[in-house]
Amino acid sequence: MAPTPTDTLSRTRAACEAKGWGPSRLARELGIAEGRGPRGLGRHAVRRWMTGGQAPVYWRPWIEKLLDLDLAPYLDAPSPATVVQDRAGEATADVCAAPPGAPPDLGDATNRRDALKTAALAAAATAADITSPTAALAYTRRLEATAIGPGTLDHLEGQLERLTAHYAATPAREAWRTARSLRAETAQLMEGRHTLVQGRELARLAGMLSVVLGWLAHDMGAATAAEAWCRDGYAHGLQAEVPEVCAWADDARATICLYDDRPGQALAAAERGAAHAPAGSPAAARLAGQLSRTSAAVGRQDTFAAAHRTALRHVEQLPAHGAGLFSADAVRLRSFDASSYLALDQPSRALNAAEDAIRQYRSVPYRQQSPTRMAIAQLDAAEAHAALGQLDTALALGQDALDCQRMVSAITSRTTRLLRRLRPHRHRHPQIQEFTRTTATVTVGERGGWGE
């Protein structure tokens, strides 16, 4: 004997119980199966059906698949085209519309009066929309709705500018606390309600703050964390659709990788950053210098020569000195030459470049000098002197560099490289042993730092 609707419903309940499903879970699974999503179907509709109400025909294949049942005798319904007279004498459709994706001949045979009223209201609303601006204005208000108060973005921009302008004069750990707090504030605003334009601006600010944090982590000797912050800055630059943020992130990453003895990755970062940097921007100039020195670091003399010519063209257009973390100046790019020539084993040319940088740094007023960049130029000169056999001069310059009042990881890294040059001579020069002991006492990150 064919199963009755009651028998089929009982088997359905039993199948749900076997799976541990109640109305809510069955509604969730049906919603997913229909393509509405896990919340696309209300549990009350499923509960009504499981307590004896009529089920929509279009549920059949999904329920049968989900519960492994044959529900055809129960779920068959009259044709959706059937029109009947209800008790009030009103003509009503026998079914309600199926959801998107359901076959056109399927529908719900319940709530006929509600379906007709809904259709009538929809038709009236459509007619009213033709002359009323209400719907359009509502969409506009929603688009422009924001939880960001007036002046908030200007405040964040001002804090970022202040942080980068005073980077060289601020102890690294203090600058880290400030930048980390601003980055967290920006992240919180991004999670709140904001306009699309505000969202892109927040992403830009977040990216730049992450680059600052990358430089600070580098200054304090945390290369892995520094690179992670640069990757975050790059990702936010992409979301903000501001290529210059991506360029600055890769500029920092190139330096971080270079000082972490990964010249190949440093070159890759410089190449990608140069591709993002807007023409004529400070970032483009900085990355031209990065391409030059990272090409030298991997020993590609032909690539270095081409990149160096490009960097020199930028030097001709730049001011002699620049201020701020995100700036470019002629002295910085020329100082890159010393590192490049040392990597290419050309100590005489490296010494000329380093001494020229030292003279340039000393030519500006004391308060405008960059002690960290001066120390790095001194260490480049010291390494060149050591390669030329002038050990006493190399030691004197190395000691001057260690007296820097803004000690950062870049200085200790260059000092280690200088010690490698001096090590073969340590038995004949006791001063080298003393210099080695001095370098071991240097602490990074306590006295501030300048992103090199």
Contact (Cβ atoms closer than 8 angstroms) between residue 106 and residue 98: yes
Contact (Cβ atoms closer than 8 angstroms) between residue 313 and residue 328: no
Count of beta carbons in the 10 Å neighbourhood of residue 334: 21
The band of 450, judged by pLDDT with boundaries at 50, 70 and 90, is very low
User: Which residue type is seen at 136?
Assistant: A
Count of beta carbons in the 10 Å neighbourhood of residue 376: 26
Mean per-residue pLDDT, 84-113: 43
The band of 368, judged by pLDDT with boundaries at 50, 70 and 90, is low
E strand intervals along 386-443:
none
Kindly report the average pLDDT of the chain as a whole number. 81
Q: State the pairing for strand pair 96-97/91-93.
A: unpaired
pTM (two decimals)? 0.68
CA 323: distance to chain centroid? Answer: 26
Q: Which residue has the higher pLDDT, 449 or 319?
A: 319
Indicate if the pLDDT at residue 83 is higher than 80: no
User: Which residue type is seen at 274?
Assistant: A
The band of 107, judged by pLDDT with boundaries at 50, 70 and 90, is very low
